[in-house]
Amino acid sequence: MNAAVYPPKLFVRTVPLRGGADSLVRRLPAGTPLAWLTGDGGLVGWGEAARWDGAPEPEGTEPTDTTRFTEAARWLTGLLERTEVEDEVGLPGTGAAAFGTFTFAPASSGSAMIVPRVLLGRRGDRAWLTTVTDEPGVHPGELLYPAPAPRPVGPLSWSTGARTAAEWGGVVAETVARIRAGELDKAVLARDVTALAESPIDVRTLLERLHHRYPQCFTFSVAGMVGATPELLLRREGRELSSLVLAGTRPRGASAQDDERLAEELMSSAKDVEEHGLAVDSLRDALAPLAEELVVPSWPHLLRLANVQHLATRAHALLRPGVSALDAVAALHPTAAVGGTPTAAAMRLIAEEEGMDRGGYAGPVGWVDGAGNAEWGIALRSAHVDGARARLFAGCGIVAGSEPASEVAETESKFRPVREALTD
């Protein structure tokens, strides 16, 4: 267990921005930006007033271990006890707020919570500025950091990740055989590819391109994890929580007629409906102990994004008193949409067969504020950016009816958002 490290005291002030914040990304300085954007709103931040880095659990730790979430929650509680807040806006995301990313598996390193020195937010027609300092009545130096235009990425060289597409297709075939033999019902398998630029990648460029092309998604940047996820793990306001399950995918069609054909094929596919149902059951089972009320539709709807379309189900819950956003994150992760069913068996298969460390891929990513409001997504359609290197990830749900060639093609569709964002 990590010993919690805190600054002596933090002074947080949130004030309204009159005139708004037209482009949140364009206000970010270069470096290591923090971001959570969707539609016309969201949060961006820079600088570090406080930070928690989770230590990986020992190899062999149960794959469903939640220590990293409970340690982060304990750290955040301790930090808030040492924080004085002046909030003139009073919306979700104002006052003290932390961005976070958690690894998919407990034995991986990369879980982090960061309270920025400067945060800009927008919700509807209201915008705000939050500053965090070690002394009352002063401004952080980071407030005046210059924000030059995002830089182009430049030429890229691409390389295979842990497995080639053909090798990964072989793993899919082996997994299908194990599912048909009754070992488990579903496993979500992922693969990676790597891009290397000639100079450090400006994350703001990726954020701007992803947010522009996928405004319905949640575009994020936290501790090197960057992407645009369609999957909202949870949104919490007061005691009300909502969650969006996505499982079952088809590409968008080349024409309106082709698009409708693919949509009808998805909605009527026994394989995809089964995969989606397993993910919904996983969500229901995880939320039920935390909720006084829980509403889960009995049939999915279709969610169309720029590059793919998904089967989608939106659930709503009223949380029991005392249940925090990070409690719910810990209970929900890993969902069947990113792990499998049964969870422990699927997680063990992933560790045995994928041949790579996912890091933060398919783990929770998002933010939480001092009042307990939060938005957390699942880090999909994403990459880990470290200097000039970007490691891209894509995965698919494997069930008894899965075909390796189709699953490889689906990963290529899911790589596309970040591939295109990296391409000048």
pLDDT-based confidence at 22, cuts 50/70/90? low
Query: Running DSSP on this structure, what letter comes out for residue 424?
Result: -
Residue 170: how many other CB atoms lie within 10 Å = 14
Percent of the chain having pLDDT more than 70? 98
Owner of token pair 């707020």: 97
Residue 8 neighbours by CB under 8 Å, 6+ apart: 82, 134
Residue 103 confidence (pLDDT) above 90 = yes
Nearest-angstrom CA–CA distance, 123 and 367: 15
For residue 20, pLDDT over 70 is answered with no
User: pTM above the 0.85 mark?
Assistant: yes
pLDDT digits (tens, 9 = 90+) for 52-98: 999 999 998 998 899 999 999 999 999 999 999 999 999 999 999 99
- Fold classification of 10-422 is Anthranilate synthase (3.60.120)
What was the pLDDT predicted at 178? 96
pLDDT given for residue 154 in this prediction: 97
User: 54, 112 in Cβ contact below 8 A?
Assistant: yes
Q: Name the least confident of 19-23, 29-33, 251-255, 414-418.
A: 19-23
Question: Treating both helix axes as pointing N-terminal to C-terminal, what angle do 404-422 and 203-213 enclose, rounded to 10 degrees?
Answer: 120
CA gap 207, 170 in Å, rounded: 34
| Catalytic-labelled residue, pool 57, 142, 186, 208 | 186
Cα–Cα distance for residue pair 212/131, rounded to 1 Å:
27
Per the annotation, the verdict on 186 as an active-site residue is yes
Q: Which of 57, 142, 208, 231 is catalytic?
A: 231
Which candidate, 309, 252, 248, 256, places its Cα nearest to that of 279? 248
Question: Quick one: what percent of the chain has pLDDT higher than 90?
Answer: 83
pLDDT of 19 > 70? The answer is no
- Confidence at 21, pLDDT banded by 50, 70, 90: low
